[in-house]
Chains A and B, each alone.
Chain A
Amino acid sequence: MSIPFGAAALVTSSFIVVFTLTSAFTRLFFVVRCTHFQAINRRGQTYWKMGDNVSPDLLQQRQIPDLPPNMFYIPNFITEDEEQRILDKVRTIKQKRSSVTYSTCLMYITDSRQPLDLPHTPPPAINPCSTHSKQHSSRLVKNATLADQPRCRSHIVSGDF
């Protein structure tokens, strides 16, 4: 009699422990998500709910019709404040680099915190209706490797700019 009772108690207590832990994790997850949304909303982010798992639906709604699949267009992906911050940063970098007088073409690759000036923007000598020339690519590779080696973990071997 005592054995079944003990087993039942063990099962019950295990169930309570598991339930409590699951509940706690669920609540914690919910709180984190809610806090995140509130933070987003406070910043005035109305179109986008970062962290919300709505991507498939959102993308379906934003698919550009008539084109081959898939192109998606999302207006107001960032706020005006966020846009301004990035623009200010780009302009600052452009001003610091006196060599960039025509227009700006900068490239960042993994772990690179310093911009690499690319020769032109947009590339002027691209053959219409074709991929960019290998010659152009290798020139960029050389620039990237020399300029960014100390900070960069990945280097572009070939590319399309």
Chain B
Amino acid sequence: MPPWLTNPVVDRISSLGIFEDAPHGINHCLINEYLPGQGIMPHEDGDAYFPVVATVSLGGSLVLDVTEKRIVDGDVAAEDAKELKRWRILQEPRSLLLTTGSAYTDTLHGIAEITEDLNLGPETVANWSLLGDLGAIEANGGCNTRTDRISLTYRDVKKVSNVASKLFGKTR
């Protein structure tokens, strides 16, 4: 990874110790741009990754929707199942969101394709008490107008090519 992606972010994430058990440490970064109105359907991250994800948000804020994952007859329950638990997480610019454990394995996450996140408050946003700038949302009547957001997603890709490993050796 280039230095501008590792310094200072990777060093700081590493110092938290959350990637301590990861076989390679942070070896992968995905950069996504979300324009207003863009989102991503609820999904889970595959088992190609070590089950820790660190997401750094840049630019604008948006709400990440987290849904309980329930297996019904060997398949994941439909998205609109009413009994599923749901949470909303507001991701502010410059913030870090870490997901691991059951939150990684037993939930789905997605982003609604909307231009405004409405009805934001202590009752509806799971991380309300942890937000850095409550004033901005409160002043806007619990509404977040989306702007361009770039997310940096840092992970440990568990599986690497056998050919590459033989040619270059394991990374760690």
Contacts and interface: CB of A to CB of B under 8 A. Distances in A.
A158 B79 CA distance: 25
Contacts of B131: 73, 75
A161 to B, nearest CB: 7
B27 interface: yes
Contact of B94 (A59, A71, A76): A76
B141 to A, nearest CB: 21
A18 B24 CA distance: 37
Contacts of B33: 90, 94, 103-105, 121
Interface of A is mostly: loop
Given A69-B103, A113-B2, A126 B41 contact: yes
B101 interface: yes
B32 A159 contact: no
Given A70-B103, A110-B28, A131 B46 contact: yes
Nearest to A84: B58
Q: Which of A52, A80, A85, A112 has its CB near the most chain B CB atoms (within 10 A)?
A: A112
Given A113-B1, A131-B46, A154 B157 contact: yes
Nearest to B109: A71
B1 A128 contact: no
A108 interface: yes
A112 to B, nearest CB: 7
Contact of A154 (B76, B98, B161): B161
Interface residues of B, number: 82
Interface stretch (A1-9, A20-28, A60-68): A60-68
Interface residues on A, range: 35 or more
Interface in A112-158: 112-113, 115, 118, 121-123, 126-132, 137, 145, 152-158
B39 A122 contact: yes
Contacts of A105: 30-33
B114 interface: no
Contacts of B150: 86-87, 90, 104
A86 to B, nearest CB: 6
